[in-house]
Amino acid sequence: MRFLPLCLLVFALLVFTATTHANPPLIPQDFAYLDDVIPGIRLEMDYYTAHNFVGKPIDGYIKPRAILSRPAADALAAVQQELSAFGLGLKIFDAYRPQRAVNHFVRWAADPDDNLMKSKHYPNIDKSKLFKEGYISSHSGHSRGSTVDLTLVSLSGEDIDMGGIFDFFGPESWPTAPTPSPSQRAHRMLLQTVMEKHGFAPYSQEWWHFTLKNEPYPDIFFDFPVE
């Protein structure tokens, strides 16, 4: 049996190591990109842009992609499949959220003079009350990887009228709010019903916000970037 000279063996090991680590996984093993798990799902990742309640791109969103824990992603795929039979689908506003993004929100909330997006996102609430009212927190379920913000769309991509925009801070955004029209409230109920059927729990103050009930990381807040 022949053996490689030591120098060649070392070289081979270096090449193997470099090749193996040239493209390391961007996300933990038990997480997935939603557009890989759910072909055709629509994304509108406002935190990657300046079109959000802060008015600036948010820390940690390097690419406009949506990531969830694999159990949450699989459950969401089942939601999409059920809706497709009725000519409907899902559009994602936000999924996994790095802790650094939450920290960005906290810094923004502490600045009383930064009200660039007040008229659009929180016209009837003083910014100083956003923490107390439950719209902003120092830790978010999104950072655990199994919470998602989403809405209904037609399979052709047209938005379904839900009676309010994503990240509107106020009682008008509660799933049970009486202010939307009957059809808008019915759309909210449809979304909540199908999400609950597939294992997600709603949030009482945001019609778009759902968390997988049996989330795999209930006590871990991740901080890897969205890229």
CATH number at residue 34: 3.30.1380.10
Which segments of the chain have a pLDDT < 50?
1-4, 7-23
* Distance separating alpha carbons of residues 207 and 187, to the nearest angstrom: 10
Number of domains in the chain: 1
Shortest CA distance to 173 belongs to which of 182, 163, 160?
Answer: 163
Is residue 43 in a domain? yes
Tokens 């955004």 map to which residue?
Answer: 173
Is residue 7 in a domain? no
The pLDDT value given to residue 137: 92
The pLDDT value given to residue 206: 97
Is 215 catalytic? The answer is no
Is residue 136 in a domain? yes
Shortest CA distance to 157 belongs to which of 44, 24, 38?
Answer: 44
Residue in 196, 206, 215, 227 annotated catalytic:
206
Is residue 148 in a domain? yes
The pLDDT value given to residue 39: 87
What phi and psi, each to the nearest 5 degrees, are found at residue 192?
Answer: -65, -40
The pLDDT value given to residue 9: 41
Which structural domain, as residue segments, surrounds residue 90?
28-212
Is residue 16 in a domain? no
Is residue 226 in a domain? no
Host H or E run for residue 8:
helix 6-21
Is residue 32 in a domain? yes
Q: Is 81 helix (H, G, I), strand (E, B) or coil?
A: helix
The pLDDT value given to residue 43: 98
pTM of the model: 0.88
Tokens of 11: 């070289």
Question: Is the distance from CB of 38 to CB of 80 less than 8 angstroms?
Answer: yes
Is residue 2 in a domain? no
